[in-house]
């Protein structure tokens, strides 16, 4: 089942103006932006979702966070990141993702920073580091999917990585890796000696 279909099961039904899949697609955008910090108030802005449904969705995410994703997931190598973001591999647009880490390299949050076009996602350091600064994270790993399936970094990918590393150095937040991924696998800038 797709993410949209799974969320549609939680929502249950749509409204007379919007079917459940349309509501689900809109909700996924909010979940992607907020990550684990999603609140009932964030969901209530979606027309067709009331307090009870919003509470149900937030409670489901909290239950999964507590029971399935163990506290203190530690990143020791790029391959540890891939299972946390692999569900974005089948998206038709590029999703640029940040994974904030504490001083022990434990995942604090995973969020979608920007959603781009079919073949590119524009990202600026201020968008990447804004929430990471608020969280007081020590490090960040960024990643984005390539809907084409190619794992070769583009010139733009290289330039963005360099820009983010320089910005992170200024802010005292280490850029640990930039991962490009698709259903075929992943490419790590760190593993290729490009960071």
Contact of 114 with 123, CB cutoff 8 Å: yes
CATH code: domain 78-188 is 3.40.140.10
pLDDT at 123: 85
State how far the alpha carbon of 67 is from the alpha carbons of 97, 144, 152, in Å: 23, 27, 36
What does the pLDDT read at residue 172? 94
Token digits of residue 140 = 């960040």
Q: What is the pLDDT of residue 192?
A: 94
Going by the DSSP 8-state scheme, the letter that residue 139 receives in this structure is E
Q: Where are the domains of the chain?
A: 3-67, 78-188
| C-alpha distances in Å from residue 164, one per residue of 23, 141, 169 | 34, 10, 8
Nearest C-alpha neighbor of 139 from the set 112, 113, 178: 178
DSSP state of 74: B
The residues with which 185 forms a beta bridge, in sequence order, are 182
3-class secondary-structure state, position 181: strand
Note the pLDDT of residue 159. 93
User: Which residue positions in the chain have pLDDT lower than 70?
Assistant: 65-72, 117-121
Residue 78, both tokens: 């790029």
- Are 189 and 165 spatial neighbours (Cβ–Cβ below 8 Å)? no
B/e letters for 133-143, b = 16+ CB within 10 Å, e = fewer, are: eeeebbbbbbb
CA 30 to chain centre: 11
What pLDDT was estimated at residue 181?
95
DSSP 142-179: EEEE-TT---PPPHHHHHHHHHHHHHHHHHT-EEEEEE
């Amino acid at each position: 089942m797709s993410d949209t279909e799974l969320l549609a099961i939680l929502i249950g039904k749509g409204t007379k103006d919007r079917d459940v899949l349309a509501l689900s697609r809109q909700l996924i955008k909010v979940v992607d932006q907020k990550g684990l910090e999603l609140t009932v108030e964030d969901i209530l802005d979606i027309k067709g979702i009331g307090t009870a449904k919003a509470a149900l969705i937030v409670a489901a995410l909290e239950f999964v966070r507590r029971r399935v994703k163990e506290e203190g997931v530690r990143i020791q190598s790029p391959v540890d990141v891939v299972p946390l973001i692999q569900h974005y591999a089948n998206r038709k647009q590029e999703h640029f993702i940040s994974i904030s880490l504490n001083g022990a390299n434990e995942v604090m949050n995973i969020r979608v920073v920007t959603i781009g076009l079919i073949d590119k996602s524009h990202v600026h350091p201020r968008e990447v580091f804004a929430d990471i600064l608020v969280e007081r994270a020590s490090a960040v790993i960024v990643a984005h999917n390539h809907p084409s399936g190619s794992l070769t970094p583009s010139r733009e990918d290289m330039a963005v990585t360099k820009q983010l590393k320089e910005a992170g150095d200024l802010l005292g937040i280490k850029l640990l890796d930039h991962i490009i991924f698709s259903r075929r696998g992943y490419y790590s800038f760190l593993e290729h000696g490009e960071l």
